[in-house]
């Protein structure tokens, strides 16, 4: 009897020790990482899993252990963490951090959101930034004249090269900022901070295609240029790989690309009116409608979506040399010869209103 009683005491002691240890560990893991009150900006993206959120918080040294963070969420039946940008500090407990992310951006009322749409050019980007932050359009555009800053970006991002320093380029980072909706800490956000967030996202989008890009004869700059033209030329994503095949075929034959959207960009026209004959024949580093212009423009002409990037990296293999779209139905027609193209162009003339 004494033997069993002794065994019971030992087991009870072991269980008690385990319980105490678990409680101490639990208390330790939910306590703040440190007494540091410095606020750190943390972005939780839509669709992130609890483990991905845990990784983001651990990288910022805001939680002690990623596995425990996931366990804590499950233990407390937390499944409503909200995407957004938050300001958190190391002196916040795990319970506090989770509560903040559950509440969403209302916790930080200074957070702003900006949407950059596919296809918009840098003048339009500057307008979006000026309308939502304390930066002016001139602040945005003047940033692109800072050679030291541009050189630092070339060093920091594998997909940015000396191509952006071409003096013929209107806006060196045109086409390199990824279009999306982003959140920033406040209206006080700097132009450099905005650019960094959009460039970081472009790197995320391009990274899976790095080997394919390297294998292509075209540079990243040229691929983004093609993607940006296709982005503006056709609305149907499924047509863009064919459109780019047209451009590549024309380049091989030393033919002008003949893209109206490059003419508009070259003239810095943001309106939708029909172009004049003189404008079509104008000479600048972008106007591919000029009969003497048989190369790619100096650079991209607007923001590019992931679908346009994919189309430029993996264009369709066709013999097409011409295309034209019905601007009302968004249907695009492709041709191997000018005769059929001109016939369709006349057919659509009244619908497209001279486009």
CATH of the domain at 103: 3.30.1490.480
Handedness of CA 260, 263, 265, 267 (dihedral sign): negative
354 domain residue, yes or no = no
* More confident of the two residues 327 and 113: 113
Whole-number pLDDT of residue 106: 63
pLDDT for res 46: 84
CA distances from 250 to 29, 237, 247, 253, 323 (A): 63, 21, 5, 5, 12
208 plus 300 within the same structural domain: yes
Q: Are residues 194 and 80 in the same domain?
A: no
Please write the tens of the pLDDT for every residue from 35-73.
888 888 888 888 889 899 989 999 999 988 888 888 888
* 276 lies in the same domain as 235: yes
Domain assignment of residue 36, given as a range: 30-107
Q: Is residue 18 part of a domain?
A: no
pLDDT of residue 41: 86
Among candidate residues 58, 84, 107, the one where a domain is terminated: 107
* Separation of alpha carbons 99 and 93, rounded Å: 10
Tokens of 245: 């095949």
In a domain, 253, yes or no: yes
| 298 and 164 part of one domain | yes
pLDDT tens track for 118-159: 999 999 999 999 999 999 999 999 999 999 999 999 999 999
Q: Are residues 171 and 306 in the same domain?
A: yes
Statement to judge: residues 149 and 124 lie in one domain: yes
- Same domain (yes/no): 174, 251: yes
What is the pLDDT at residue 355?
A: 54
**Which of 83, 107, 131 represents a domain boundary (last residue)?**
107
Contacts of residues 7-14 at CB distance under 8 Å and 24 or more positions apart, as own/partner, are: none
pLDDT, tens digit, 9 for 90 and up, residues 224-260: 999 999 999 999 999 999 999 999 999 999 999 999 9
Q: Are residues 90 and 127 in the same domain?
A: no
| In the predicted structure, residue 354 carries a pLDDT above the cut 60 | no
pTM: 0.74
Write down the pLDDT at residue 23: 62
8 Å CB contact between 44 and 101: yes
The pLDDT-based confidence of 2 (bands split at 50, 70, 90) is low
Q: What is the pLDDT of residues 330-352, one digit of tens each?
A: 899 999 999 999 999 998 877 77
């Amino acid at each position: 009897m004494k033997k069993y009683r002794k065994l019971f005491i030992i087991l009870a002691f072991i269980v008690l020790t385990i319980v105490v240890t678990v409680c101490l560990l639990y208390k330790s893991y939910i306590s703040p990482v440190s007494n540091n009150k410095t606020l750190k900006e943390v972005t939780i993206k839509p669709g992130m899993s609890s483990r991905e959120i845990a990784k983001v918080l651990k990288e910022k040294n805001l939680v002690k252990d990623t596995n425990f963070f996931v366990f804590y969420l499950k233990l407390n039946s937390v499944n409503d963490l909200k995407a957004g940008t938050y300001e958190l500090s190391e002196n916040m407990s795990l319970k506090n951090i989770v509560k903040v992310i559950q509440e969403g951006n209302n916790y930080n009322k200074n957070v702003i959101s900006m949407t950059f749409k596919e296809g918009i050019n840098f003048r339009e980007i500057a307008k979006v930034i000026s309308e939502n932050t304390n930066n002016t359009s001139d602040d945005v555009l003047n940033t692109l004249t800072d050679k030291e800053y541009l050189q630092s970006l070339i060093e920091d991002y594998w997909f940015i090269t000396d191509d952006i320093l071409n003096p013929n380029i209107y806006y060196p980072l045109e086409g390199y900022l990824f279009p999306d909706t982003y959140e920033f800490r406040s209206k006080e956000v700097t132009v450099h901070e905005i650019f960094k967030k959009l460039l970081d996202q472009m790197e995320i989008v391009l990274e899976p295609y790095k080997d394919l890009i390297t294998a292509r004869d075209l540079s990243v700059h040229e691929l983004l240029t093609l993607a940006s033209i296709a982005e503006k030329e056709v609305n149907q994503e499924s047509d863009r790989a064919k459109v780019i095949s047209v451009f590549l075929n024309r380049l091989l034959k030393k033919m002008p690309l003949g893209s109206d959207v490059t003419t508009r960009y070259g003239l810095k026209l943001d309106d939708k009116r029909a172009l004049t004959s003189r404008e079509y024949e104008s000479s600048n580093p972008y106007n591919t409608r000029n009969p003497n212009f048989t190369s790619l423009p100096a650079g991209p002409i607007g923001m590019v979506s992931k679908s346009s990037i994919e189309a430029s990296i993996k264009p369709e293999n066709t013999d097409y040399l011409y295309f034209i779209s019905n601007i009302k139905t968004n249907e695009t027609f492709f041709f191997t010869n000018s005769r059929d193209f001109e016939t369709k162009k006349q057919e659509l003339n009244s619908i497209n209103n001279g486009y």
